[in-house]
Amino acid sequence: MRFLTDTDDEVFDLLIGYAGSSEIVSEVMARPGRDSVRLPQVIKEIDELLAARKSQAALRSRVLDVPLAMAVAPV
């Protein structure tokens, strides 16, 4: 299967739409040693980055839900 796109910019626009943020696409594409990459690898790395960010956000949310007295209570 081939993707029918006119330009590389169109591919980036599609990736940004998929990732939801140009920051995420830029972070994946700017990784060290990356001269070329296949589209499935980019999508996999975007998925991994999104999952990691979602996990971090959930952890922060749980930490913020802890009552202050419990957070600073001596052990």
- Tokens of residue 25, six digits: 């696409």
Q: What pLDDT shows up at residue 33?
A: 81
* Residues 10, 12, 16: CA angle, nearest 5 degrees: 115
| Residue-wise pLDDT tens digits, 19-56 | 999 999 999 999 888 888 888 999 999 999 999 998 88
Q: How close are the terminal C-alpha atoms of the chain, in Å?
A: 59
| Residues 25 and 19: beta-carbon distance below 8 Å | yes
Lookup: tokens for 24: 């995420």
Hey, how many other C-beta atoms are within 10 angstroms of the C-beta on 15? 19
Per-domain residue ranges of the chain: 8-64
